[in-house]
Amino acid sequence: MSTGNRSIIAKVSAFVSGIFVCLQLHPGSAQPNEYAGEATALALEAQEYAGAIAIAAGRDPNPGSAIENAERAIGTARRALQLDNSVALGFSVLGIASRQIWRWEDARMAFEHAYELDPNDPGIAFNYGWFSSFNGDHEQAISIAQRSTAINPNSANAHRELGIAFAYAGNEAGASAALRQCIALDPSIGVCHIYLGFMQFRLGNDATAEASLREAERLFGEGLSPAAASSLAHAYAMTGLSGDAERLFERLDAMRDERVVGAGSWPLAFLAIGDESSAYEWLQRAVQKIENNEPDEGFFNLMIIKHNVQASPILERGRFVELRDRIGAN
């Protein structure tokens, strides 16, 4: 990482630490309500910067632009919370930005505080729930998602979150039931199909898994991301569909001419075609980016790898476990 990027990361960390020190000293220090509108507007602006982190990571091989968007997101959220520290969105944005630059303890505190302020907000519950799964807090993730489905039983997204929480916890049956409910409510959500495919091949139901994976690929269409192409390729391989795994690998390889393919998007893809050595090499590169606090296009694939959601026996080998344990350990 360049000296400039290290300086930005240091400032970002100082921003977040300063906010929580302030809250500990003045837990009820929100300004009068006359500032609430301005604080909310700033939080929404910060949310746009946070969304731009992943976009930049997928477009620019230099991590500087993604890190700068993280700095803008955290700095703007900080201004919002200085005006009114009861704006839950401000904390949620802090969590998203900190998560993307691998400041996971900062992210945990921010998501937790956002959820304490507004547990009924679907977006806040979504972000805290998914992060809890990523962080290995599976009981908490399931509890958050179950609460969301109780509040919004007809929300496909709420059942998606519950399915994802069960999937990361290794509960294939619970995940399958929730994901099927998501699909029944909205069959266009590709993530539900792909995770249902993961769970079904883990249960040994290869025909059902294949149908789910093919439907996910159809729904992703031309908008298939590198991370999705990689995880689909590996899922096809795990289902015994080596030809489809190779086809998706070739599609991923062709994407390099058009956009950034993150280090985190290569390990599962190489495992899909049986190249363990290259998979390990790319996972080493991804872990180095993590430890340099650099955002990566393959973030969600790295979460699948960290928790071995697709139950790859290769990922259970010692040298891979050592790298998996370093994902998100900052």
Contact of 116 with 87, CB cutoff 8 Å: no
Identify the pLDDT of residue 169: 98
Rounded to the nearest 5 percent, the helix, strand and coil shares of the chain are: 75, 0, 25
Of the pLDDT bands very low, low, confident and very high (cuts 50, 70, 90), residue 19 is low
Contacts 24+ apart (CB under 8 A), 153-161: 154/185, 155/122, 155/185, 156/181, 156/182, 156/183, 156/185, 156/186, 156/189, 156/192, 157/122, 157/126, 157/182, 157/189, 158/122, 159/185, 159/192, 160/189, 160/191, 160/192, 161/125, 161/126, 161/129, 161/130
Q: What is the mean pLDDT of residues 34-47?
A: 88
pLDDT tens readout for residues 303-319:
999 999 999 999 999 99
Identify the pLDDT of residue 7: 55
Rounded Cα distance between 103 and 9, Å, is 9
Identify the pLDDT of residue 10: 57
What rounded mean pLDDT belongs to the chain? 91
Cβ contacts of 315 within 8 Å, gap of 6 or more: 271, 305, 308, 321, 324
Lowest mean pLDDT among 3-12, 69-78, 228-237: 3-12
Number of Cβ within 10 Å of residue 266's Cβ equals 25
Rounded Cα distance between 160 and 325, Å, is 26
Identify the pLDDT of residue 30: 46
Q: What is the mean pLDDT of residues 104-132?
A: 96
pLDDT tens readout for residues 154-205:
999 999 999 999 999 999 999 999 999 999 999 999 999 999 999 999 999 9
- Is 231's pLDDT higher than 80? yes
- Is 15's pLDDT higher than 90? no
Q: What is the mean pLDDT of residues 277-285?
A: 98
Assign residue 311 a region: left if phi > 0, alpha if psi is -120 to 50, beta otherwise?
Answer: left
Of 113, 5, 93, the closest CA to residue 47 belongs to 93
Contact of 316 with 307, CB cutoff 8 Å: no
Of 27, 16, 12, 19, the closest CA to residue 116 belongs to 27
Identify the pLDDT of residue 34: 74
Rounded Cα distance between 235 and 216, Å, is 11
